Amino acid sequence: MQPHQDPGIYTLVLCLDQHRKVQVGLLGVIDFAAGFYSYTGSARGPGGLKRVDRHLSILQGKRSTKRWHIDYLLPHTSFCEVFITRTTQDLECQIAGSIGESLTAVKGFGCTDCGCASHLHYSQDLSRMQRAVGSAHRLAGQYRHE
């Protein structure tokens, strides 16, 4: 199996350079402050971590299909990095919850299929974001920082 087809959990770290109001599907208009956002998702199905490549193609404007909440925010951001935990285990909510213990949650974002407060978190400080996300993935198991 190729590395990008491996199953896993990922957290994208994104930069929003200025305040924006964005229509996010059925969630409605969300007021996003300038700063850094981490989005935690699952890629345990067919294709595995190729889902990260799909998100990056939307961020870069190469694809316009909006399937998930994050797809609405991506075109307004720039990519910083991705944290990956290669696993078949359902650790998405555990990782998102751990990140939410130290960062601000964007209520209801990316979690319509679970009971989490959010899978999108905010920080004005990149190093604080990196520490929170890295710690969450380390606690969940083996991860790869890219």
Contact 38, 131 (CB under 8 A): no
Spatial separation of the C-alpha atoms in residues 73 and 39, rounded to whole Å: 10
pLDDT for the residue numbered 98: 96
Which of the pair, 13 or 139, is modelled with greater confidence? 13
Spatial separation of the C-alpha atoms in residues 26 and 88, rounded to whole Å: 30
Question: Does position 143 have pLDDT exceeding 60, yes or no?
Answer: no
Provide the domain count of the chain.
1
pTM here?
0.91
- Six token digits for residue 112: 């319509």
- Neighbour tally for 114: CB within 10 Å: 13
pLDDT, tens digit, 9 for 90 and up, residues 41-62: 998 878 778 889 999 999 999 9
Please name every residue paired with 78 in a beta bridge, in sequence order, or none if there are none: 15
pLDDT for the residue numbered 111: 87
Which residues form the domain of 56? Answer: 3-145
- Six token digits for residue 113: 């299929």
Spatial separation of the C-alpha atoms in residues 15 and 42, rounded to whole Å: 21
Q: Strand, coil or helix: what is 55?
A: helix
Provide mean pLDDT across the span 118-146.
87
Spatial separation of the C-alpha atoms in residues 97 and 92, rounded to whole Å: 8
